[in-house]
């Protein structure tokens, strides 16, 4: 006699559902696996292009060697930093770098914001104006430096135009009082149009309903800018501020091509001094120590910017 087991739900019944906790764990593992697949290339690039160079810079900064020597570098601890901090040329370079950034960053951001606000209005040929203003950003910095170097020469077109209106020849790139302003001009020639594009994108994301409500309340253009545009544009402005700060801290092409850090060290910014020590003086260990100082300085300044903007947002 054969006994058969009878399933109440029949032979085609589905298996019982998994517990809710098991489903959540499987879903979480699936999400983590997908995230790992997408993040692995970016993380690998960060390790290769960011973390490994920093580790190498720390190693170089704590060693020393004679230029051209076949002997392995000798560990010296913090001696390179001690020598760096006792160098008048290093502190002069830090001073010139900070002065440059204090002047150029607000100038570029204010001009970029003004142009972004202007070119988001209903003006004729707005697309053409945006293209013309952004066009210098499509030219490499070296190309712009060469063009401006020709324009600002003593016998260049800028001095020729000044002479036509009775102004004497100006030492734009060779005068101690004018070289910093000339470098700011060259950097802003590219930076203003580039950052303007980001701010235009941020302005276009602001819903028009806020402006309509402000206009109904009787707010004028200036009041709408301060009460609507700036608060809703804070995140794009933060990105532009941080990115512009980092970009100007590592600027060195105009100095390397046009001024060689002169005259009298007035354009000897930290990034150029690192290049000068490493490739022209064959002292990569001092250059690595200076690079780490520049990195710490940028991190501190960016952290302060984040803190100030966060405090303003909270208030």
The CATH number linked to 134 is 1.10.3720.10
- Domain membership of residue 23 (yes or no) is no
Give the model's pLDDT for residue 11: 52
| Contact status, residue 275 vs residue 251, Cβ threshold 8 Å | no
What is the spatial distance between Cα 251 and Cα 297, in angstroms, rounded to a whole number? 15
| Contact status, residue 210 vs residue 218, Cβ threshold 8 Å | no
CA distances from 135 to 73, 81, 139, 275 (A): 46, 42, 7, 28
Buried b (16+ CB within 10 A) or exposed e, 245-284: bebbbebbbbbbbbbebebebbbbbbbbbbbbbbeeeebb
Give the model's pLDDT for residue 82: 94
Give CA 82 to chain center in angstroms.
29
Give the model's pLDDT for residue 295: 93
Give the model's pLDDT for residue 1: 46
- Domain membership of residue 149 (yes or no) is yes
Full DSSP string of 211-260: HHHHHHTT--HHHHIIIIIHHHTHHHHHHHHHHHHHHHHT--HHIIIIIT
The tens digit of pLDDT for each residue in 86-130 reads 999 999 999 999 999 999 999 999 999 999 999 998 888 888 999
- Domain membership of residue 161 (yes or no) is yes
- Domain membership of residue 115 (yes or no) is yes
What is the spatial distance between Cα 294 and Cα 97, in angstroms, rounded to a whole number? 10
Q: How many domains does the chain have?
A: 1
Rounded to two decimals, the pTM is 0.84
Give me the torsion for CA of 266, 291, 145, 242, rounded to 10°: -100
| Contact status, residue 85 vs residue 296, Cβ threshold 8 Å | no
The whole domain housing 197 covers: 93-314
- Domain membership of residue 55 (yes or no) is no
- Domain membership of residue 33 (yes or no) is no
Give the residue ranges of the chain where pLDDT is below 70: 1-21, 23, 311-315
What is the spatial distance between Cα 114 and Cα 292, in angstroms, rounded to a whole number? 35
- Domain membership of residue 270 (yes or no) is yes
Give the model's pLDDT for residue 22: 72
The CA angle 301-306-311, to the nearest 5 degrees, is: 125
Q: Output the average pLDDT for the chain.
A: 87
Give the model's pLDDT for residue 289: 94
- Domain membership of residue 122 (yes or no) is yes
């Amino acid at each position: 006699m054969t006994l058969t087991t009878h399933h109440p739900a029949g032979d085609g019944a589905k298996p019982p559902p998994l517990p809710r906790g098991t489903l959540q764990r499987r879903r979480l593992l699936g999400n983590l696996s997908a995230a790992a697949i997408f993040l692995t290339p970016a993380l690998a690039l960060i390790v290769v292009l960011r973390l490994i160079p920093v580790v190498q810079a720390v190693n170089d900064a704590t060693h020393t060697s004679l230029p051209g020597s076949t002997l392995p570098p000798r560990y010296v601890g913090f001696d390179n930093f001690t020598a760096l901090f006792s160098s008048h040329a290093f502190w002069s370079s830090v001073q010139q770098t900070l002065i440059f950034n204090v002047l150029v960053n607000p100038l570029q951001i204010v001009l970029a914001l003004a142009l972004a606000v202007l070119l988001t209005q209903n003006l004729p040929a707005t697309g053409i104006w945006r293209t013309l203003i952004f066009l210098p950003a499509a030219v490499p910095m070296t190309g712009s430096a060469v063009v401006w170097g020709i324009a600002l020469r003593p016998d260049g077109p800028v001095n020729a135009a000044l002479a036509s209106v009775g102004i004497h020849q100006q030492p734009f790139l060779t005068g101690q009082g004018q070289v910093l302003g000339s470098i700011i001009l060259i950097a802003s020639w590219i930076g203003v149009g580039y950052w303007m594009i980001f701010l235009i994108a941020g302005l276009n994301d602001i819903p028009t309903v806020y402006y309509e409500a402000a206009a109904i309340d009787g707010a004028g253009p200036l009041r709408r800018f301060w009460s609507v545009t700036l608060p809703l544009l804070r995140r794009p402005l933060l990105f532009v501020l941080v990115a512009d700060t980092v970009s100007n801290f590592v600027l060195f092409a105009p100095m390397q091509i046009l001024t060689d850090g002169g005259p009298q060290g007035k354009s000897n910014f930290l990034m150029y001094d690192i290049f000068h020590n490493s490739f022209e003086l064959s002292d990569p260990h001092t250059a690595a120590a200076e690079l780490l100082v520049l990195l710490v300085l940028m991190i501190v300044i960016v952290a302060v910017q984040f803190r100030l903007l966060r405090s303003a947002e909270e208030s």
